[in-house]
Amino acid sequence: MQNFEYWTPTRIIFGQGVVDKLPETMKRFGKKVLLAYGGGSIKKNGLYDKVKSLLADWEIYELPGVAPNPKFNPSVVDGVKICKEKGIDVILAVGGGSVLDCAKAIAGAAGYDGDPWDVVTGKVPTTSAIPIVDIITMAATGSEYDAFSVISRTETNDKVAYYSELVFPAVSFIDPTYTYSVPKNQMLAGVVDAINHVMEQYFNEDPNDLADGMMEASIKSLIKNLEIALVNPEDYNARAEIFLNCTLACNRIFMVGEAQSGWPMHAIEHALSAYYDITHGVGLAIITPRWMKHILSDKTEARIANFGVKIFGLDPATPVRELAEQTIDATYKLFEKWGIPMCLKDVGIDESRLGEMAKHVADTAGLDQPFVYAPLKEEDILEIYKASL
């Protein structure tokens, strides 16, 4: 077992109607609130009015219009400015992971006198942060239970990961009923992303029984409850399990004591989304079985086969290489059964830029480092793309 540190100081308040507890929570912080939200869906579903009414006694400053893939300019810059000018005590992020990611960057940069970009890029360390409370309305990135955020700066084509232990949300409100209105395709893509988050952690060099078991439980729960929610989008238990899995999938509790893995599938997919703006979860569904097939070797076959036995109930008596191949096939068929386009050509990607993307990933993602589960060179990445056509 690997040595590890684990710390998640966020309080989760989970369930139907929990947002009613917001005033009780907000009382712990000051009166000046920066309310960050996105494109207005919270105005349509009534959550905006509910929050304003619950916080009638607070002094609220608004940061509306935070975009998906939240932008440094204007969102983070404007938010930091409001925090400084008004002396904000607490940031309330209401919406999806992007709004929360933006709130994290604002929280960490607000105490710094220079350019907030210095903090977001890690050029200067985060030494203080405004507390964050969130009402998270999308089962997706797990931002509500980690200290990461991804911030884009359009004018310089930068997309950076910002991390500071100081920006863990203080409190995350999760009411699964807010996901009832998420369209099926988006729910599906979110679940594939969550399954892949767990798979990225599962394929590592130093498994243990407890962590493996938690991850297997999570993937099986995601598959089962997605299939329930696809039939009945308002099945509360199914939506609640999906949300709970998404919340925990990126937090490291499922992989306690296991080795790092390098998250190769995410790195390979990110280029697809960046170059072609395809849905991240769809890109992952396409890449996952091709990555598994590419890394299949004497060294990895037992781990892949074990995945097939545990997740798909394949027969452990089958010879290991055959079992691993069956596992890869079952993974492909699972996503295909859910109606996901399983080839790059189906989502408008041809071979013209595969080489460019492979070079970009090889240059930036460090997938050839020895700690990566199955290290990949540029030509490996290119082969995975080609096999995905």
Consecutive H or E run containing 119: helix 116-120
Stretch that binds its own copies, among 49-57, 101-109, 221-229, 327-335 (CB under 8 A): 221-229
Residue 4 contacts its own copies per CB under 8 A: yes
Phi first, then psi: what are they for 171, rounded to 5°?
Answer: -140, 130
Distances in Å between the Cα of 212 and the Cα atoms of 293, 301, 377, 384 are 21, 16, 28, 26
- Least distance to its own copies, CB of residue 223, Å: 10
Number of residues binding to its own copies, judged by CB under 8 A: 42
- Least distance to its own copies, CB of residue 6, Å: 5
The residue from 101, 144, 193, 241 that contacts its own copies (CB under 8 A) is 241
Distances in Å between the Cα of 321 and the Cα atoms of 82, 112, 203, 311 are 59, 55, 16, 17
What x-and-dash track marks residues 160-189 binding its own copies by CB under 8 A? Answer: ----------------x-------------
Residue 216 contacts its own copies per CB under 8 A: yes
| Angle at 334 (CA atoms; ends 332, 340), nearest 5 degrees | 80
Stretch that binds its own copies, among 6-14, 62-70, 78-86, 106-114 (CB under 8 A): 6-14
Residue 240 contacts its own copies per CB under 8 A: yes
Stretch that binds its own copies, among 122-130, 249-257, 334-342, 343-351 (CB under 8 A): 249-257
Site for its own copies in 80-109 (CB under 8 A): none
What's the rounded Cα separation, in Å, for the pair 178 and 181?
7
What's the rounded Cα separation, in Å, for the pair 386 and 351?
7
The token duo for 66 is 């935070």
Residue 177 CB contacts under 8 Å (≥ 6 apart), including other chains? 16, 236, 239
Residue 23 contacts its own copies per CB under 8 A: no
**Amino acid in position 358:** A
The residue from 15, 64, 65, 355 that contacts its own copies (CB under 8 A) is 15
The residue from 98, 141, 164, 225 that contacts its own copies (CB under 8 A) is 225
Residue 213 contacts its own copies per CB under 8 A: yes
Looking only at the bridges linking them, the beta strands covering 158-163 and 148-153 are antiparallel
For residue 260, give the DSSP letter: P
Residue 57 contacts its own copies per CB under 8 A: no
Q: Please check whether residue 215 is in contact with residue 197, taking contact to mean a CB–CB distance below 8 angstroms.
A: no
Residue 233 contacts its own copies per CB under 8 A: no
The residue from 236, 275, 276, 312 that contacts its own copies (CB under 8 A) is 236
The token duo for 48 is 């905006």
Stretch that binds its own copies, among 36-44, 182-190, 212-220, 297-305 (CB under 8 A): 212-220
Q: Toward its own copies, which CB reaches closer, 6 or 333?
A: 6
Residue 2 contacts its own copies per CB under 8 A: yes
Helix (H, G, I), strand (E, B) or coil at 312: helix
- Least distance to its own copies, CB of residue 10, Å: 8
Radius of gyration of the chain measured on its C-alpha atoms: 21
Stretch that binds its own copies, among 10-18, 98-106, 152-160, 193-201 (CB under 8 A): 10-18
Q: Tell the residue number behind the tokens 């997605």, with chain if given.
A: 226
Q: Identify any residues that bridge with 163 across adjacent strands, giving them in sequence order.
A: 148
Residue 22 contacts its own copies per CB under 8 A: no
Residue 274 contacts its own copies per CB under 8 A: no
| Mutual angle of helices 354-364 and 378-387, in 10-degree steps | 140
The residue from 111, 233, 257, 355 that contacts its own copies (CB under 8 A) is 257
Site for its own copies in 319-338 (CB under 8 A): none
> 248-269: buried (b, 16+ CB within 10 Å) or exposed (e) per residue?
bbbbbebbeebbbbbbbbbbbb
Contacts to its own copies by CB under 8 A: 1-18, 176, 208-210, 212-214, 216-218, 220-221, 224-225, 236-237, 240-241, 244-245, 248, 253, 256-257
